[in-house]
Amino acid sequence: MLQPTLKKLKIRQTSILSIIVTIVITTACTADSSTALGTTIIDPATPGSQSYELGQTVYNMQCATCHGANGEGQFPDAPLEKDLTGRYGAPPHDETGHTWHHDDDLLVQIIKEGGMGDPVNFYVMPALDSVLSDAEVEAVIAYIKTMWTPEQVATQQERTRLVREQNSPG
Ligand code: HEC
């Protein structure tokens, strides 16, 4: 009578173990995607909030030297002109700039993988993937969005929605 009981116990142990393993794996995956980059549409940060503080810190430390302390760009007097070296500087991110024309996923891509300008005609936008976490990338985008008009925010969010719809299978 002892044998079958032991066997049952063993089976039960194995299945409990596999349930635990499944839970751990599922939790790990959920935790990974909880940064939500690429799934939610980023809202402008609320001044005073934690995400605003984080975005502002990241911006000041990693972006401001090139894009300007207030998002005014590298050459605020003539952002659309090449300088003496024959290159365009870092563009403004504020409401005078072009950044709000890009959907969230493209902004994430540019920040993580670097700019798309050629080095002959443009100063270089570095890839910051190894420097910033997903949460920091999201926060800095949320911070930049506070530099846009409400209309620009709405247009950019709608664009993000449309681009995702077009790219989603089915
Ligand atoms: C060393 C200078 C430099 C730093 C630092 C830098 N950028 Fe840039 N960035 C550029 C330049 C130059 C361009 C334009 C050329 C290009 O896109 O390749 C650019 C382009 C961009 C664009 C595309 C804008 C548009 O209107 O098309 C985004 C978005 C951007 N940067 C975001 C950031 C963010 C966010 C940070 C900080 C986390 C940052 N950059 C840090 C130089 C920089």
Q: What is the CATH number of the domain that holds 121?
A: 1.10.760.10
Q: How far is CA 127 from CA 48, 131, 136, 142, 160, in A?
A: 28, 9, 14, 19, 22
Most ligand 1 atoms within 8 A of CB, residue of 60, 66, 159 to mutate: 66
pLDDT (tens digit, 9 = 90+) per residue, 73-116?
Answer: 999 998 889 999 999 999 999 999 999 999 999 999 999 999 98
CA of 17 to the centre of ligand 1 (A): 48
**DSSP alpha helix (H) spans, 38-149:** 50-62, 64-67, 104-113, 134-144
Residue type, position 18, single letter: S
Residue 54 CB less than 6 A away from ligand 1: no
- The answer to whether residues 163 and 139 belong to one domain is yes
Domain boundaries, position 53: 42-167
- The answer to whether residues 29 and 109 belong to one domain is no
pLDDT (tens digit, 9 = 90+) per residue, 45-70?
Answer: 999 999 999 999 999 999 999 999 99
- The answer to whether residues 29 and 77 belong to one domain is no
CA of 13 to the centre of ligand 1 (A): 54
Residue 129 CB less than 6 A away from ligand 1: no
